[in-house]
Amino acid sequence: MNEALLRSLTPSVLAVLVRRGADFAAAEDAVQDALVEAIRVWPADPPRDPKGWLVTVAWRRFLDSARADAARRRREDLVEEEPVPGPAPAVDDTLQLYFLCAHPSLTPSSAVALTLRAVGGLTTRQIAQAYLVPEATMAQRISRAKRTVSGVRFDQPGEVATVLRVLYLVFNEGYSGDLDLAAEAIRLTRQLAAAIDHPEVAGLLALMLLHHARRAARTAPDGSLVPLAEQDRGRWDTESIAEGVQILQAALARDRLGEFQAQAAIAALHADAPTAEETDWVQIVEWYDELARLTDSPVVRLNRAVAVGEADGPRAGLAALAALDDSLPRHTAVAAYLHERDGDLAKAAQLYAEAAHKAPNLAERDHLTRQAARLNARRCR
C-alpha cells in the first residue's frame, strides 16, 4: 500500500465531509477512522479509486456517529439528508484546513498535532510516537485542539504566517522514531505552496529543502554532529539544493522579502560554496542584516556575529558578540568558537566546556564537550 498517497488524500477527503455539512471535529474523527481502516484493508484489497473509497468509508463513519448522537439529541434532520456530491475547489479547501489547524487560538503544540493529523493524515499513534508522549495524551491534545477551533468558521481566511510557524516547528523537530517529521514538513509545505501563491511559503519550502539537502552530511556514523565547515559536501543532495535555489530565486524576484526567504538565502549561499573556504561570508552578513531588520531576533544577531567573524576576522566577530546579551542561548558556544579562531585556545576550551554545560540538547552537548577535549588535548601535547 502506498501510505504517502493515502496521506496526501487526507485533506481533500476531510474537505468533502465538511462541505457535505459535517462539523469539522466529527468529520476529522471519521476520516481518521477511515485512514486506520485503509491501512488495515488496502494491502490485501487495494481500491480502484482510493479517494472515493476513503470518502465513502469516512462518510459512513460520520453518519454512524451522527446517528448515535441524534438518537441522544433528537437531531435527525442532518442525518437523513442525502449528501450533495459534485466537484468542488479542492485546493481552496486544503488551504482552509491549514488555516484552521494553525489557528491563533491554539497553542503551538496543539496546532502542530492537529495539523499533522487533519492535514498530514498521520494517526494519533504515529504523532504520539514522534513526540515521545503516550497515545492517550496525544489523543486528548488533539481533541482539545478540535474543541478550541470548533467555533471557527471553515471559510474564514487565516494568516499564512501562523501556518508557516507551525510547519517550521514540525520541520525543526527532525526525526525521532519511525516518522521523519522533516520530510513530512516538506511534503506539507509543498502542498501548501501548491494551494497558495505566497513568496514566504516559497521561502520556507526553499529553506527546508536547502537544510534537508545537508542532512546526510550533518551527522557522523556514530551520531555525532558534523559542523558545516567540516561536512563532506559530496554527500549534500544536489537535486534538493537545485530545487531550493530555484524556488527561492522565483520568490525573491517578486520583491516581497520576508524572514523565511532571507533565511533561505543564507542557506543557499552555504549550499553554493564548493568548499567551506569559498563561502561568501560578506554576502551572508548582508543577509543577516536584512534578517535582523525583518525580525529583530537576538538569535539572528548571534548568528550574524559568527558570520562577521568569518567575513572580517574573529576580533570583529567578538566585537559584534560583545554588544549582545550573554544570557542568550548558544552565546557561550559562539564566544568559544571565535576565541579559538582568534588563537586563544585556553579561553576557548574553557568556554566550550561551559557551553556544553548549558547546551539544550544531547547532540550539541556532546559536540561542545568534544571541542573542549580537542583543545585541551592539543594544549597538553
Stretch that binds other proteins, among 45-53, 225-233, 342-350, 373-381 (CB under 8 A): 225-233
| Residue 22 phi, psi dihedral angles, 5° rounding | -75, 145
- Interface residue with other proteins among 228, 273, 316, 345 (CB under 8 A) is 228
Closest CA relative to residue 61, chosen from 30, 90, 92, 38: 30
Q: Which is nearer to other proteins, 92 or 135 (CB)?
A: 135
Q: Which is nearer to other proteins, 92 or 180 (CB)?
A: 180
328-354 burial by CB neighbour count: b if 16+ within 10 A, else e? eebbbbbbbbbbbbbebeeebbbbbbe
Stretch that binds other proteins, among 44-52, 76-84, 110-118, 195-203 (CB under 8 A): 110-118
The CA-atom distances, in angstroms, between 42 and each of 16, 21, 39, 124, 355 are: 21, 28, 6, 19, 51
- Interface residue with other proteins among 19, 117, 301, 330 (CB under 8 A) is 330
Q: Which is nearer to other proteins, 76 or 230 (CB)?
A: 230
- Interface residue with other proteins among 78, 91, 169, 276 (CB under 8 A) is 169
The CA-atom distances, in angstroms, between 187 and each of 30, 120, 170, 173, 348 are: 23, 9, 11, 15, 41
Q: Is 359 a binder of other proteins (CB under 8 A)?
A: yes
Closest CA relative to residue 210, chosen from 261, 161, 276: 261
Q: Is 287 a binder of other proteins (CB under 8 A)?
A: no
Q: Is 297 a binder of other proteins (CB under 8 A)?
A: no
- Per-residue contact flags (x/-) with other proteins for residues 59 to 98, judged by CB under 8 A: ----------------------------------------
| Residue 274 phi, psi dihedral angles, 5° rounding | -65, -35
Cα angle: 121, vertex 124, 127; to 5 degrees: 80
Which DSSP letter does residue 119 get?
I
Instruction: Give the span between the Cα atoms of 47 and 56, in whole angstroms.
Output: 12
Stretch that binds other proteins, among 6-14, 58-66, 139-147, 232-240 (CB under 8 A): 139-147
Stretch that binds other proteins, among 86-94, 195-203, 338-346, 363-371 (CB under 8 A): 363-371
Q: Which is nearer to other proteins, 198 or 214 (CB)?
A: 214
Instruction: Give the span between the Cα atoms of 148 and 142, in whole angstroms.
Output: 10
Q: Is 369 a binder of other proteins (CB under 8 A)?
A: no
Q: Which is nearer to other proteins, 187 or 215 (CB)?
A: 215
Q: Is 135 a binder of other proteins (CB under 8 A)?
A: no
Q: Is 263 a binder of other proteins (CB under 8 A)?
A: yes
Instruction: Give the span between the Cα atoms of 81 and 287, in whole angstroms.
Output: 57
The CA-atom distances, in angstroms, between 139 and each of 46, 117, 124, 146 are: 28, 10, 6, 11
Instruction: Give the span between the Cα atoms of 39 and 231, in whole angstroms.
Output: 39
Its sign, for the CA torsion 16, 19, 22, 25, is positive
Q: Which of residues 182-221 bind other proteins (CB under 8 A)?
A: 182, 207, 211-212, 214-215, 218
Q: Is 363 a binder of other proteins (CB under 8 A)?
A: yes
Positions that interact with other proteins (CB under 8 A): 107-110, 112-113, 131-134, 136-138, 140-142, 144, 168-169, 171-174, 176, 182, 207, 211-212, 214-215, 218, 225, 227-228, 263, 330, 359-365
